[in-house]
Structure 1
Amino acid sequence: MPQVSAFVRHLVKETERVIGAWFRGGEEEEEAEAAAIALEQPVTTMERDHGAANGLRFGLAAMQGWRPEMEDAHTVVPSLPGALRPWAFFAVFDGHGGAKVARYCARHLLPHVTGSLDLRPPAALSVEDVKRGVRAGFLRLDRRMHKLWRPAGGDRSGSTAVAVAVSPRHLFFINCGDSRAVLCRGGGACFYTQDHKPFLPREQQRIQRAGGTVTLQRVNGSLAVSRALGDFGFKGAPGRGQTEQLVSPEPEVYEMERSDADQFVVLACDGVWDSVGSEELCRFVHSRLLLTRDLEAVCSQVINVCLHKGSRDNMSIILVCFPGAPCVSEEALQREAQLDAIIEEKVQENFKRQLDEGEPNLFYLMQDLSEEEIPDLPPGGGLYSKRELITSIYNKLKDEHRAVSSRDSDESR
């Protein structure tokens, strides 16, 4: 069933995109849409990083995937400078229509936010002070970009933003757009941000008051998010304030007190969330943390799972682990080794059966395996999380078969 759900999500998204291009009309826009569909092969090289400070560990991974350009960007600061040293800040920016806004935000959003906070000791900052500072920082940054680029004819790109600011006592989840943050506490997803989609009642009301429409679940039939930084072509409604435009740069800020039960936070762009749900991803990450402390590797596995599930977008993910994160378990390692052995045996059996019937084929092998009951597959990842292992075993068997066939052919001569 998860395979069907992922397929349906992608089918709906691509159908909306194609119909949206037809609805808007214009050869230039249609050509731009067509160019953005996909490359012939995905770019699977990953940017990876990790670090630790303030009792936190983080890992990240980012992949261009099927898109012609990498439009995602990120910010990782596990210890802020100056008086805010006990604080940390992590953010993912998902660009659209180009990478300019996302990259600018990755460099400049945090200084705009911290510059908006009152210049007093961090301990004296109230929750409301922080929320006001974050909101002011977003709006100031958006105005700054508009002022910088308007004389040159503007820039058509935009970017969503999702972030978490970690203080000694609180977690501040910051969201503008349809990227998402999820908190895993006590073994499950206890909180996640709400995607800003044009069809949500409060978003639709603002869009309509600004003179726009929500068509095909998009702003004016074009943009799939209702809040973003940049996108200045959607921010010129006369008589409307900065946060009352078709697309608003105003973030939502959610505050939670930290708990000893906090395990990890995941920040990711919609290229990840289009392929896996919040609960699914928490379960998968939890299961991987029982096997390794390498957070880069865990993030890379998430992206590979999403790629194999069919994500056609750029993908970026940041994993932030708290002291209460799952630890490597000998029992989990043994269980995983047993699972890998079972999979290897099944691949060998299937490969032999395909040889008897004709030419081996990896696609059909994966299809056959997906129909089998394989116990202890990683929750939330399933067989997709074992695609690399299956491919490696399959290629090894194919190479061995070719070598034997070549040797037999030489001997027959």
Structure 2
Amino acid sequence: MGAFLDKPKMEKYNSHGEGNNLRYGLSSMQGWRVEMEDAHTAVIGLSHGLDLWSFFAVYDGHAGSQVAKYCCEHLLEHITSNSDFQSALQDDPCVDSVKNGIRTGFLQIDEHMRTISEKKHGVDRSGSTAVGVMISPSHIYFINCGDSRGLLSRGGTVHFFTQDHKPSNPLEKERIQNAGGSVMIQRVNGSLAVSRALGDFDYKCVHGKGPTEQLVSPEPEVYAIERSEGEDEFIILACDGIWDVMANEELCDFVRSRLEVTDDLEKVSNEIVDTCLYKGSRDNMSVVLVCFPGAPKVSSEAVKREAELDKYLEARVEEIIKKHGDEGVPDLVHVMRTLASESIPNLPPGGELASKRSVIEAVYNKLIPYRSDDTEILIAAIS
């Protein structure tokens, strides 16, 4: 079976909340992977007197889930309680000092996890990326360590997105080589696909080098963006299981179209995850969607178009089944391939036919007795 299951695990974990003039929804799915190694954090109203601040993050674990789980429970406290971060909050918060405090929190938790691992007489070999946002009343602090990604949609376009930390990036490659390593097949020493991560202590044992000079660095890149009331729409944080099959603009367009037909952020997050599965993602998938007051609102016209699209798809599925006639009942793969070959109006941008797979499957199963289909073939038919 290797690293993949025979069939994807499609059960989802969901959560949502609101406060500080923000709303969020999240969804995570194990998918085709044998283990679920993703984790997440969503906190509105922080401790240490930061009631008006919020924090959201996604962690994509590898070689185990231990580091990702520990970070989702403890990273925020390591950030907000360290002296560098606390000193930044004296009087008027200094942006550069806040950024420095966030970096300190990452370095501290990484060293703390190493100490815990060594006390257990065996180094934990798992690691995790981390992408997050800390939102203050005046700024959005994007935080990235690894190849998960976060982006901000503002004024109808992708205003900002984090840069993936890949071993092939020139600056990352230089650090790896200076630490005595190499980049082969776009991996650290031919093995690890990310150049920055928490954990991964097998790659952090080069003597004479500091924590940020190792083969794999735990140092995040932190970006501060001034908030723009009325223009800021939403933030998306997601692991590479999402970004592997959807580009930044595609996902933003898809989210924008979904927000025009529902204000249920859990539902929108679920649609993102399902769509990425049907587009061919083979990884764990996690997404956090954070909406500002300027996010798109439900539109009666968009709701009407969506209903008309669903009705059209229902009719087409029935026509395809009837047209098959004497040849016998067509399988769902045939139905999906037929629809994929057609020019269907008003499909959700970015999601396209893959985002309507559940609607099509529901109609198919309603019209004929349920029959088992190969999920992998079905995905190939529409991706």
Settle same-fold status: TM greater than 0.5: yes
Instruction: Provide the C-alpha distance between the structure 2 equivalents of 1:58 and 1:81, rounded to a whole number of angstroms.
Output: 19
- Residue 92 (str. 1) matches residue 58 (str. 2): yes
Instruction: For 1:222-371, list aligned pairs within 5 A.
Output: 222-260=191-229, 261-371=231-341
- Partners of 2:207 and 2:2 lie apart in 1 by 33
Counterpart CA distance in 1 for 2:212 and 2:93 is: 25
Q: Given that residues 83 and 121 in structure 1 are in contact (C-alpha distance below 8 angstroms), is that contact kept between their aligned partners in structure 2?
A: no
Whole-angstrom distance in 2 between the partners of 1:384 and 1:72: 23
- What is the identity percentage for the equivalent residue pairs of Structure 1 and Structure 2? 56
Does structure 2 conserve the Cα–Cα contact (< 8 Å) formed by 1:354 and 1:361? no
1:284 Cα deviation (Å)?
Answer: 0.3
How far does residue 221 in structure 1 lie from its aligned partner after superposition?
Answer: 0.5
In structure 2, which of residues 103, 110, 126 is the aligned counterpart of residue 157 of structure 1?
126
* Poorly superposed stretches of 4+, deviation over 2 Å: 118-123, 354-359
Correspondence for 1:134: 102
**TM-score under structure 2 length normalisation:** 0.94
123-132 vs 191-200, which moves further: 123-132
Deviations 1:123-178 (A, max 9, x none): 52200111100000000100000011013211000000000000000000000000
User: Paired residue for 1:103?
Assistant: 69
1:203-237 Cα offsets, whole Å, 9 max, x none, are 00000000011000000000000000000000111
SS of match in other structure, 1:392: helix
Residues 43 and 64 in structure 1, CA contact (< 8 A), matched pair in contact too: yes
CA contact (8 A) 2:59 2:239 kept: yes
Select which of 151, 155, 174 maps to 1:186: 155
Which one-letter code corresponds to 1:153 in the other structure? G
Assess if the C-alpha contact under 8 Å between 2:10 and 2:30 holds in 1: yes
Whether contact under 8 Å (2:88, 2:101) holds in the other structure is: no
Compared with structure 1, are the counterparts of its residues 359 and 120 closer, same or farther at alpha carbon in structure 2 (3 Å cutoff)?
A: closer
AA aligned to 2:242 is V
Paired letter, 2:198: L
TM-score normalised to the size of structure 1? 0.87
1:34-183 equivalence runs, <5 A: 35-36=2-3, 38-116=4-82, 117-119=85-87, 121=89, 124-151=92-119, 152-183=121-152
Aligned length: 367
SS of aligned partner of 1:253? strand
Residue aligned with 1:91, SS: strand
| In 1, Cα distance between equivalents of 2:197 and 2:217 | 6
One-letter code aligned to 1:284: F
Alpha carbons 2:32, 2:283 under 8 Å: kept: yes
One-letter code aligned to 2:114 = H
- Give the partner amino acid of 1:115: S
**Aligned residue in 2 for 1:209:** 178
The structure whose residues are more often helix, as a share, is 1
Equivalent residue number for residue 379 of structure 2: none
Deviation at 1:269, TM superposition (A): 0.4
Choose 1 or 2 for highest CA Rg. Answer: 1
Q: 1:385 to 1:123 in 2, by over 3 A?
A: farther
Task: Report if aligned partners of 2:107, 2:219 keep a CA contact under 8 Å in 1.
Answer: yes
**Equivalent position amino acid for 2:111 in 1:** R
SS at match of 1:198: coil
